[in-house]
Amino acid sequence: KAGVTQTPRYLIKTRGQQVTLSCSPISGHRSVSWYQQTPGQGLQFLFEYFSETQRNKGNFPGRFSGRQFSNSRSEMNVSTLELGDSALYLCASSLGSGLKNEQFFGPGTRLTVL
């Protein structure tokens, strides 16, 4: 069974630009969560989508947004990029959205903002 895939793996942008990251969950998984990983803040929850609906959102500004498609694939978008947005963005998928569903993580997209 293929794992969670994320594209692109690496991305370089400049301040003020916007970026879209993509995540394909494991086949059959309907929940996708996004996390930001930085050396200073560690892993921080961005948002979760289940059946095309945002279920929960972390404490990030409105510049961070996401969506989920009917095939469960998800995208996250960051507008008006700032230097501090440089991070590894991880996507995780799970079968459902309940507390006991194990999350499987993808390799991440490394975003560098210059």
In the complex, least distance from residue 52 CB atom to other proteins, rounded to whole angstroms: 14
Burial of 27 (0-12, 13-18, 19+ CB in 10 A): exposed
**Given the complex with other proteins, which of 52 and 80 has the nearer CB atom?**
52
Q: How many of the chain's residues bind other proteins (CB under 8 A)?
A: 30
Using CB under 8 A as the binding rule, whether residue 63 contacts other proteins is answered as no
| Cβ within 8 Å of residue 31, ≥6 positions away | 25, 48, 49, 50, 55, 93, 94, 95, 96, 97, 101
In the complex, least distance from residue 45 CB atom to other proteins, rounded to whole angstroms: 6
Using CB under 8 A as the binding rule, whether residue 7 contacts other proteins is answered as no
